[in-house]
Structure formats: structure tokens, C-alpha cells
Structure 1
Amino acid sequence: MSPSDRPLRVLLVSHYYPPHVGGIENVVRQEAGRLAARGVDVTVLTSGERGSALVEDGVRVVRIAAWNGAERAGVPFPVLSPGALPAALRWARWADVVHLHDCLYLTSWTAGLAALLTRTPHLLTQHVAMVQHPSALVRGVQRAVYATAGRALLRRARAVLTLNATVADFVRAYGARPERARHLANGVDTELFRPAVCAEESRLARRRLGLPEERPLVLFVGRLVPKKGYDLLLAAHDAQAGYDLVFAGDGDSAALAGRPGVHHLGALASEELAEAYRACAVFALPSTAEGFPLTVQEAMASGLPVVTTDDPGYAPYGLDRSQVLLLPRDAEALRAALTALAADAPRRERMGRYSRDHAVEAFGWEEHVIALVRHYREAA
């Protein structure tokens, strides 16, 4: 069968993939499943505790055995086994196009090298710019990686897809050809992530999650690492606050232990996470250098008022700043905003309505996948 007679073959490459919980892996799972539903032949190359290859929900998932000990120190960087390059060569040779997710990881370096050796075109989605990690060593390693392997991947990519203006500037600074840079927002499942249909549904969700039923709840979703700003939320909260904090994510859980009015749900699968959004009254994410992360999109789709960092990466989305609070990364500013929102239910309702309407209009997965297929065909 000639290439024109068979389905388009795409190799998606991600450092993690569900059931591992995180933003990039959730995006890749959505892309993979929705591409497959459109008739694209999809293989995902990722890491795992053990090597394996099996079909999951119509998508072929190839997991390379990897050591993941660095994640326990807040550095999500799986170290692949020696079988990574042979597997990447096999699947790059099979593919019409290779789609790398983020140029920081060994999975992308390996698959990018395989694409070069097999002369398979590759695209790259860059999710974030430089992460301001508290460790000078980690920051230095990031700079070194982006200046070497990252630059090579960005330079050779047939298209570089970015989520916001900050990351677009970053990839151009590190070698992406300006004429190949494209803005492509992540999609969000607006059927899974939806508002509670009534107050009773929200109360039941709180009960199932073991959360208080009467207090306003402010939800944080993400790993408990400093770049996400969980420490700022803790600093902004005290026993007299008019709201409780709810954290969904893994990481430094000891920092949350024993604090009054603070609840830790741990890492949640997508269905449980959607219920957590419906259980809460406000979403807060004072992160840094993330632009417009997927969790903000999920919160908006769930009809929550959003309090997050004033990042230039939000500019392409045209948000109404009276309806989405974009604040400096400052505990006092957070305290004032969250206290005011907790005491003003009508304002929360207005902001939540705006969030939902904007998400339905701007973050459709179908539009995202149609654009992806177009980029793939142009590259291949």
C-alpha cells in the first residue's frame, strides 16, 4: 500500500503518559485518542517503569523502561534505558511524521535523533519556557540543554507549536525559525470538565472527596513544587481566612500536613479531578513561566473563577481582566483577592459564567486536532 492509500502515521513522543498524572501527558492522551478517532494511525513513545507495547483505547503505546527517581526531588526527568534508541528508530522509520512534546526531555532527544537518521520530518510542541527552579544547578542544566539538544530540535522542526506569547519568544530565542512558529492552544474536554448542575451536585462531590460542605473552597491543581506557587497560597492563608485551600497534586505533601483549613487530595485521575473542580468555588494557580497551563483551561471549562499569575503569555487569548484575576506573585495580593472572592458569591457566579463561556468558545479539542492534522500533512 502506498503512503497516499493508507492512513497518516504519526509518532507522538512524550516523557510521560497516563496513568502518570500531569499536564503534558494529559494533552498527549487527548491528542492521541482524538487523532485515532479521525482515522490517523497513532503510536505514542513514552517512558515507563518497565518496557512494554500495547494498544490502549485504540492507540499503540510503546513504553521505554526508565528510571524516574529524580521526580521525587521535584525534577520530572525520566532517564531512559539503552533500548530507547532502537525503539525510537523503529517507530520513526514507520511514521510519516514525528511529533515531539517539549525539547527538554530524553524522549524528545532520542526520537529527534531517530527522526534525523531516518529522514522523518518532525514537529515540536513547546509547552513552557525556562522554569525558574529554586536550584541553581537545575537552572544551569536547563540552559545547557536548551542551548544544545533543544536548539537542534527547534531548528530542524518543520513547525514549532506554542501555547502563548512567552513560549513563542522563548523558542525563537533558542533557534526556532520564525516562519515555522505557530500558535496552537491546547484543547480541553468541556464535557468532562463542566460546572456542577446544581448546589447539591457540588455538595455531593465535596462529601465524596472528604471536603467540608459549607466553607468556600479554593482549589490548586499541580505538582507541589515552588514554580507552581503552592507555597504562596499557603503563605496567603491563615486560620482567620474565609476559605479553605484544597490541593490536588503530588509533591511536598509534608508542607501541607497539620495546617488548619488545608486539604490534600493527592494526584487525581481526570474523572476525579473534574469532580474536584465541581466541588470548589475558586481556582488559584500563582505559578511562574507557564503562560496558559492546561489546569487553568480545565478550571475555566468547569465554570470556576480563576486567580492566576499576570503572565504576558495570556495576551493572545484576549481575556477580560475584570473576569479573570491576573495578579503579581505576591502572598498579600493573593490574600486580598481570595478573601474578597470568598465573601462575594455573586461575583464568583459572574466570573464563573465568563470562564465557562470563554472555554467553550476558545478551547475546543476538535479545532486543535484539525489544526494538528493540517500541520502533519504539510510536514509529511
Structure 2
Amino acid sequence: MKVLLVSHYFPPHLGGIENVVAEQARHLAAAGAEVVVLTTGRPGGIERLSDGVRVLRVPAWDGLQQRAGIPFPVPGPRLLTSALRWARWADVVHVHDGAYLTSWAAGLAAAVTRTPMVMHQHVAIVDHPATVVRLVQQAVWGTAGRLMLRRAERVFVLNDSVAAFVESYGGRVEHLPNGVDTTLFTPLGDKDLARKRLGLPADRVLVLFAGRLVPKKGYDLLTAAAGPEYDLVFAGEGHDGVPASGPGVHHLGRLDPVRLAEAYRASDVFALPSTSEGFPLTVQEAMACGLPVVTTDDPGYASYRLDRERVRLLPRDAAVLRATLAELAGDPALRDRMGRWSHSYATGNFSWPAHVGVLLDRYPATREVVGRG
């Protein structure tokens, strides 16, 4: 089975989508598939990873992320020729998110080479504070994005809100939760040592935020919800306007997965008041690490059947968020009950091998390839 995975970013660039693609690639290869990842970055020929995955990075201008925090790389002309070559090689083209130039090139290449294509759609239209960004999103999904969703033989989604979005454009939907690496993201470890390594106070309740420091993720809302009962810890990179570290606020910057796992273990509560997301990978990682989770009450979470007594799903309101965090900060027994439930839920529901097993079963070319074998 030859799989071409397509993503606008890939590690070492840090982010939710790129982490999902990396885990898919690794586990597909472990299951016996040949995997090539087409992405952007500094070119250097075909990069062979230790797990057998091959990565092709196409040079791209990334000024929008560097200047405004908008993750939208603009690749050069090499993208289309690379997409055509590897789509012709592949048995299936698996595209992540239909809003990027890498996705459009892969979709065109799949159509030209008549290679089956599936998609992963991670989010719907994001309620961005900038009017121009909202208008651009609407234009994208009214044109190229719509064509991508309609042409895909199957569109995998993380929650019900994204499913409704995809269906509104004519896409064929299948719900598929992401997995989580429960050997890396685990509650086992020395919390005091983790705090010391990260330079965090030993005697404070720590509320962790992990993600890009952009309005969509809700870092500004969490900052507004600061209270004397707890300290806020931010793990992620942002842009101009992000407040500096000070009393009660700690910025760890961008962390690789190993350091991020340590940050989860160092913390007492995980908070992500984001908007317009699927089921964020950081929420799954925090749950696997045994943290109580406070996040936005997104109707798309309905299919996960979360226990609202064990996961706090809140409106995006700073006062409500502050009151909830203060309650958790003052009740260690409640934090313990919520954390134990989080860990149990994550280990029982988020499995990368099971995720990849569904992919291999659903890929359009699977039966044909198995038959040829």
C-alpha cells in the first residue's frame, strides 16, 4: 500500500495538524504501508525518517505566520510537479485540510493521475477577529475548498460541528478520533522535578495552556481570567502583543513533544478556551496525562459523550472561566477525580493503531492492492 500524506506543515514545525500527520505516517509505516509526506519547509531531497517514512519538503514563503500568526505557507512552483510525481506513485492521496495550497495541488494531482483521494478536515470556518481573514476563508471554501470536499471519496472529521460543515459543502463524512501516544503522554513522573526543570514555582496551582498564542486558541481569554488562586502557564509561540511573563504568568515558549509532556505533568489543570476546532490534540494529550480539562462547550463534542461532571465545557466568558479555575484550584480532591477520569477516557478511546486500522480499511485502493498481492 503506497500512501501520499499531504500537509502544509510537518515536524519539526510544531502544531496539532502536523503532529497528527506525523503519527499517522509512523503508524501507517509500522502497519506495512509505504509512506511519503509532501509538505513545506527547507528542501534537501527526500528525507528518510527512522521509522521508514519519507518526507519531501517544498520551499515556501511563510511570512503570514511570522508576521501575523496565520499558518498559511505559500509554496513555489515545485509543489505542483512534486504533487503530480508522487500522486502517480501512490495508491491513495490523503490530504489534510482543504484550505491550503499544498492541499489544492495534491487534489489537482490526484484528479490528473486518477489516484483515489481522501481528506482529513480538522476545522470548519474559524471565527477570526480580522474581517479580511474571515472573508478569505469564505472565498476559499466557496471555490477550491468546496471542490476538494466534493471530490474526496471520504472526509474524516473529529467532531460533529466539522461534520456538519463538510456535509454542507457536499462532502462524504466519517467520524474518526485522533489517537494519542500514551507512552509519552502519561501521568507517571515526578511533578516537583518537572517544575524545577521548567522553572515553574513548586508551591502554586498551575493552569496550563498549550497551543499557538493566537485569538482562535483563546490565550487572551485565559489571560483575562487570571486569578490569585492559581498561576497561568503558556506553552506555545505567538506574535506581537503576547504579554510577557510576570507575577502569576509563565511563558515556556515553543516546546517539543517530550518537553510538552513534562509541562503537562508539572501542571494541575489544563485550560483551552479555543473556538472553531475539532477535538484538539492538546486536550487529548492533557487527558492522557491525567489532568482535569477545562475547554469550550462546542456542540461538536456530542459524539464523544464526555462526562460534564469530569470535563468542564464552558462558554467563552472570562468570568465563568475564572470562577471555574478558582473552584478547581481550591479543591484538590475534585482535581484528582477529574484527572483520573481523563486518563481512563484517553487510554480507552484514543489509540493510534486503531485509528490507522480504520484508515487502511477505508482507503479506496486497499481492496485493489490486497487483491493484486
The answer to whether the 8 Å contact 1:52/1:64 transfers is no
- Which of 279, 298, 315 is equivalent to 1:292? 279
Distance 1:294 1:51 in 2: 29
Instruction: Give secondary structure in 2 for the equivalent of 1:255.
Output: coil
The Cα of 1:175 is off from its aligned counterpart by 2.4
The amino acid across from 2:10 in the alignment is Y
Query: 1:67 aligned to 2:40?
Result: no
Deviates more, 1:216-225 or 1:368-377: 368-377
The Cα of 1:258 is off from its aligned counterpart by 4.5
The amino acid across from 1:22 in the alignment is G
The Cα of 1:93 is off from its aligned counterpart by 0.2
Give 2:35's aligned residue: 42
The answer to whether the 8 Å contact 1:291/1:312 transfers is no
The Cα of 1:71 is off from its aligned counterpart by 0.4
Query: 1:263 aligned to 2:255?
Result: no
The answer to whether the 8 Å contact 1:217/1:280 transfers is yes
Query: 1:155 aligned to 2:142?
Result: no
Give 1:5's aligned residue: none
Give 1:20's aligned residue: 13
Give 2:371's aligned residue: none
- Which of 206, 223, 235 is equivalent to 2:212? 223
The amino acid across from 1:308 in the alignment is T
The answer to whether the 8 Å contact 2:6/2:38 transfers is yes
Give 2:107's aligned residue: 112
Instruction: Give secondary structure in 2 for the equivalent of 1:264.
Output: strand
The amino acid across from 1:55 in the alignment is R
Give 1:94's aligned residue: 89
Query: 1:127 aligned to 2:114?
Result: no
Give ranges in structure 2 of 5+ residues lacking alignment.
369-373
Query: 1:315 aligned to 2:307?
Result: no
The answer to whether the 8 Å contact 1:162/1:181 transfers is yes
Distance 1:105 1:251 in 2: 21
The Cα of 1:61 is off from its aligned counterpart by 0.1
Instruction: Give secondary structure in 1 for the equivalent of 2:201.
Output: coil
Give 1:3's aligned residue: none
Give 1:347's aligned residue: 334
User: Deviations along 1:309-348, whole A, 9 cap, x unmatched?
Assistant: 0001110101000000000000000100001101110000
Distance 1:165 1:16 in 2: 25
Identity over aligned pairs, percent: 62
The answer to whether the 8 Å contact 1:123/1:159 transfers is yes
Give 2:266's aligned residue: 279
How many residues of Structure 1 are paired with residues of Structure 2 in the alignment? 365
Distance 1:50 1:257 in 2: 34
The amino acid across from 2:258 in the alignment is E
Distance 1:245 1:203 in 2: 17
The Cα of 1:191 is off from its aligned counterpart by 1.1
The Cα of 1:292 is off from its aligned counterpart by 1.3
Instruction: Give secondary structure in 2 for the equivalent of 1:103.
Output: coil
The Cα of 1:196 is off from its aligned counterpart by 3.1
Query: 1:369 aligned to 2:356?
Result: yes
Query: TM-score, normalized by length of structure 2?
Result: 0.96
Give 1:30's aligned residue: 23
User: Deviations along 1:283-330, whole A, 9 cap, x unmatched?
Assistant: 000000113111100000010000000001110101000000000000
